[in-house]
Amino acid sequence: MQLTDKLIVLADAAKYDASCASSGAPKRSSRGQKGLGATNGNGICHSFTPDGRCVALLKILMTNFCLYDCQYCINRRSSNVPRARFSVDEIVRLTLDFYRRNLISGLFLSSGIIRSNDYTMEALVRVARTLRVEHQFRGYIHLKTIPDASPDLIRQAGLYADRLSVNVELPTSQSLNRLAPEKSDTTIRLAMSTIRDGLDEATAEPRAPRFSPGGQSTQMIVGADDTDDHTILGNVQSLYGDYRLKRVYYSAFSPIPESPSSVPLIAPPLLREHRLYQADFLIRGYGFRADELLTGPGNLSLDIDPKLAWALNHRELFPIDLDQADMYMIARVPGIGITSAKRIETLRRERRIRYTDLTRLGCSMKKLAPFITTQDYRPRQAGLERQALLAQMQTSTPAQMALL
């Protein structure tokens, strides 16, 4: 098979994994040196495809031959897809050629499971080692970890990769048992602990060998089973706490060819995925707890974002006075982000806050209007019934990503 054909097969096979951020690497430079590549911690999106997703890394599988039969996966052994396998040199060549042309910031490599877990993991590590050692490649490398591989191989992967990730795949262990019978929640979590321990050691002991400086992340498929957002967010919150995860990625389940009857054949729930990302961001960045965002079973509202939904459920806390309120509360106002909250705090050390300041800070005025007061502004809607406000907000929410 020609290299181009392999690339088509193995990029198509890899594209359902959304966890391809290229951030969190330490500062590296090749200025005037042998070798190639630099990182500075920030990811770069070198292109966008018409699905609106960022192309930051060369995202491919080493092979899409796979012994497992995960129902949601296009590469499962019972799937009738063309199969291919890259050699180490082919992956290295593609990575370096694309990198030199500034098409990518690095490599995101994963694989179907062939022969054995260790055999597969070792092959992935070999690619990373060849890039780092032989070619002195200093760009980004993200390796997907095979959960059942031996801890020793995971350690080796951490020497070369900027980020390691193990996918939890599905929101609950019941779903995993049902849809990915060869996988086990226990081994997935063991692999995540191995990575966490490696990260802990590397931070605690400055002379410890380098270990995945960009941390670890995971991905969860949404919409392949019927778990609700309440369960998802609860589980996600414990994942963040237990494994020092940088990020949890949500991937709306995309229909696959010859879809088995165990998974739905429907358009990917993109808006739901979007709401989960927003909720996740509130948990990581704003100190929200999962049970504040969804107090009982069910899904996040698709009509309004989770921060606005929370504020509407807590009308008794608002409006708040921007000259007096805590930073923590200001950041909880719909339409005001963390950065703006900090800027409000700096500005009010100089003088009192005026309503127009908020426009200049780039806040979303429509959203915040009912929730704040300033010396020159009081909300008119303060007396409005919660429902009336909700209706008003809904009509003013811009259309989100369209579904089919």
Partner 1 sequence: MTMYTLHMAQADFVAWRDNARRLLAARVSPGDVLWQDDDSAGDLFASGDTDLPPPSETPLALKLSRQHLRRLECASHYWPTHQQECRWALLYRVVWRLAQGEGEALLAGDSDGGVVEQRIKAVNHEVHHMHAFLRFHQQPVTPEEQHAPEFIAWFEPRHDVLEAAARHFIDRMGQHRWLIMTPEGAILCDGRQWHIERPESGTFTVQDYQALSTMEDDAEDLWLAYYASTFNPARLNEKTMVRSMPSRFWRHMPERVLITGLISHARHGARRLGQDSRLADKRGHTITLPK
Give the footprint of ligand SF4 on this chain (CB under 6 A): 66, 68, 70, 73, 75-76, 112-113
Note whether 248 and 274 are within 8 A (CB).
no
Q: Which of 346, 380, 387, 395 binds partner 1 (CB under 8 A)?
A: 346
Note whether 16 and 224 are within 8 A (CB).
no
Q: Which of 26, 100, 119, 208 binds partner 1 (CB under 8 A)?
A: 100
- Contact range with partner 1 by CB under 8 A, out of 93-101, 205-213, 220-228, 239-247: 93-101
Whole-number minimum distance, CB 110 to partner 1, in Å?
13
**CB nearer partner 1, residue 78 or residue 261:** 78
**Which residues from 244-273 bind partner 1, rule CB under 8 A?**
252, 254-257, 267-268, 270
Whole-number minimum distance, CB 91 to partner 1, in Å?
12
**Which residues from 152-211 bind partner 1, rule CB under 8 A?**
none
**CB nearer ligand SF4, residue 70 or residue 92:** 70
**CB nearer ligand SF4, residue 66 or residue 188:** 66
DSSP-assigned letters across all residues of 182-218: T--HHHHHHHHHHHHHHHHHHHH-TTSPP--TT-EEE
Q: Which of 80, 261, 387, 395 binds partner 1 (CB under 8 A)?
A: 80
The alpha carbon of 32 is separated from its chain's Cα centroid by a whole number of angstroms, namely: 34
- Contact range with partner 1 by CB under 8 A, out of 163-171, 212-220, 351-359, 366-374: 351-359
Whole-number minimum distance, CB 69 to ligand SF4, in Å?
6
For 80-184, where are the alpha helices, taking DSSP H only? 88-100, 117-129, 151-160, 173-179
| Amino acid in position 382 | A
Note whether 353 and 374 are within 8 A (CB).
yes
Whole-number minimum distance, CB 357 to partner 1, in Å?
4
Three-state DSSP at 151 gives helix
**CB nearer partner 1, residue 43 or residue 158:** 43
Whole-number minimum distance, CB 87 to partner 1, in Å?
15
**CB nearer ligand SF4, residue 16 or residue 211:** 16
Note whether 251 and 220 are within 8 A (CB).
yes
Per DSSP bridges, beta strands 54-55 and 216-222 are unpaired
Confirm or reject binding of residue 45 to partner 1 (CB under 8 A).
Answer: yes
Q: Which of 21, 22, 24, 58 binds partner 1 (CB under 8 A)?
A: 58
Interface with partner 1: number of residues (CB under 8 A) = 76
Of 111, 129, 142, residue with least CA distance to 214: 142
Whole-number minimum distance, CB 371 to partner 1, in Å?
18
User: For residues 29 and 350, what is the distance between their CA atoms, to the nearest angstrom?
Assistant: 41
What are 218's strand-pairing partners?
248
Q: Which of 41, 77, 117, 313 binds partner 1 (CB under 8 A)?
A: 77
Angle at 21 between CA 108 and CA 273, to 5 degrees: 115
Per DSSP bridges, beta strands 47-48 and 54-55 are antiparallel
**CB nearer partner 1, residue 9 or residue 168:** 9
327's CB contacts (< 8 A; 6+ apart) are 341, 342, 345
Name the CA dihedral angle for 352, 358, 360, 366, rounded to a multiple of 10 degrees.
-160
Confirm or reject binding of residue 32 to partner 1 (CB under 8 A).
Answer: yes
**CB nearer ligand SF4, residue 194 or residue 219:** 219
> What phi and psi values does residue 382 have, to the nearest 5 degrees?
-50, -35
**CB nearer partner 1, residue 346 or residue 387:** 346
| Structure-token pair, residue 123 | 């092959």
Contact of residue 102 among partner 1, ligand SF4, none (CB under 5-8 Å per partner type): partner 1
